[in-house]
Structure 1
Amino acid sequence: MSSLKDKVAIITGASSGIGRAAALLFAREGAALVLNARGLAGLERVAEEIAAFGGKVHCVAGDVSEARTHAALVAAAKDEFGRS
C-alpha cells in the first residue's frame, strides 16, 4: 500500500472486524481518520489503539443508513482535518 500521509479517510463499521482492521492499517499508513459505527464505546476503544501509536482519529457514532450521519461524517472530516 502506498503512503496515506496527508489523506483523510472515513471508515464505517470501524468498531470491529474488517472496519477495525482497515482503520488500524490506514492509520499506520499515515491517514487521519473519521471512524463510524453505531456504538460509541467500540469506536473509542479503536481510537485509543490508534492514538497510542500517534494516529489522528475522530469518532462519530451513528447509523449510516441515515442522512444525518452522512452529514456528520463529512462535517467531522472538514472540521477536524480540514477536508471534505
Structure 2
Amino acid sequence: MRRLEGTVALISGAAGGIGAATARRFAAEGAAVVLKDVADPRPQAEELTATGAQAAGVVADDADERGWAA
C-alpha cells in the first residue's frame, strides 16, 4: 500500500532540485501533488501525470501576498 494515498501535498519550489524530487517521491507514495514555484513547474507536473499520478503545477511567488489571495 502506498503510504500517502488519499492525501494532497503542496510543494513549494517544485520546478527543480529538491522540490521536484520531493514531488516525485510524494506522488510515488500515492499523494496528489500541487507543484508551486516562481519558475514554471507545469512541465514537472505533466511528467508526473504521464505516470498516472495526480499532479498540477502553479506559477506563484511566496513572497508576493497577492498570489495568496486567489
What corresponds to 1:24 in structure 2?
24
TM-score by length of 2: 0.86
CA distance in 2, matches of 1:71, 1:18: 26
What corresponds to 1:33 in structure 2?
33
Instruction: Report the RMSD for the aligned CA atoms in angstroms.
Output: 1.5
Tell me the number of residue pairs that the alignment of Structure 1 and Structure 2 aligns.
69
3-state SS of paired residue (2:14): coil
The offset of 1:44, in angstroms, is 1.7
CA distance in 2, matches of 1:23, 1:38: 16
Superposed counterparts of 1:1-84, under 5 Å: 3-40=3-40, 43-72=41-70
The offset of 1:49, in angstroms, is 1.5
CA distance in 2, matches of 1:54, 1:28: 10
Name the structure where helix makes up a greater proportion of residues.
Answer: 1
TM-score by length of 1: 0.73
The offset of 1:70, in angstroms, is 3.3
User: Gaps spanning 5+ residues in structure 1: where?
Assistant: 73-84
3-state SS of paired residue (1:54): coil
Q: CA contact under 8 A between 2:34 and 2:56: conserved in structure 1?
A: yes
Q: Percent identity?
A: 42
The offset of 1:4, in angstroms, is 0.4
